[in-house]
Amino acid sequence: MTLLSETISPDLKEGRFITFFLGVLDTELHQVTFANAGHFPVLHYQHATGTFQTLETTGLPLGVWRNGSFPQGPAVSLEPGDILLLATDGAFEQRNAFREMFGVSRLRDTIAEHQDSTAAELIEFTRAALSEFFTAPHPDDDITLLIVKRALVGC
């Protein structure tokens, strides 16, 4: 990430930067190790407790400082039924006709409501919730979602 930040910094105009999340999924240990350069939200839904944890930022966005450092965050264990959600700001900053933002809380609510669905189904439920909320012909920003889910035991 340091090399990437150093490489792109000269090409970014004044005040521009890129948030970036780098995660490595160990499928044998069921853990994610990560570095987070200012990307929000990265949410971990813990199936056993029905709660969300946020994978916090470990460094500034890419391009802010040429010699920035991007330390690794704590390893995150994915237990059966746990969900990891990454979304671009276009997902939670979409506004409806009343200028209300979709918000991170609606993302959380959608995931929690459909927690027993597959990752692909969770994407579709989230897409449908966004489409219902935002009814204009074209969104204000790009919307990208990445969902990783550890299957429940026996599934």
Mean pLDDT, 10 residues at a time, the chain of 155 residues: 86 86 96 94 96 94 82 96 94 89 95 96 95 81 92 70
* Residue entry with tokens 């005040």: 15
Q: Where are the domains of the chain?
A: 2-149
Residue 70: is it exposed, middle or buried by C-beta count within 10 angstroms (0-12/13-18/19+)? Answer: buried
Residues 6+ apart with CB under 8 A from 72: 33, 34, 35, 58
CATH number for the segment(s) 2-149: 3.60.40.10
Do residues 93 and 139 touch, judged by C-beta distance below 8 A?
no
Candidates 116, 22, 141; CA nearest to 71 is 22
pLDDT in tens, 87-115: 998 888 988 889 899 999 999 999 999 99
Q: And the tokens for 46?
A: 């813990």
User: What predicted TM-score, i.e. pTM, was given to this entire model?
Assistant: 0.89
Q: Which residues pair with 149 in a beta bridge?
A: 83
Q: In what order do the strands lie in the sheet with 20-26?
A: 20-26, 31-37, 76-77
What is the pLDDT, as a whole number, of residue 8?
85
Q: Measured between alpha carbons, how far is 101 from 78 in angstroms, rounded to an integer?
A: 30
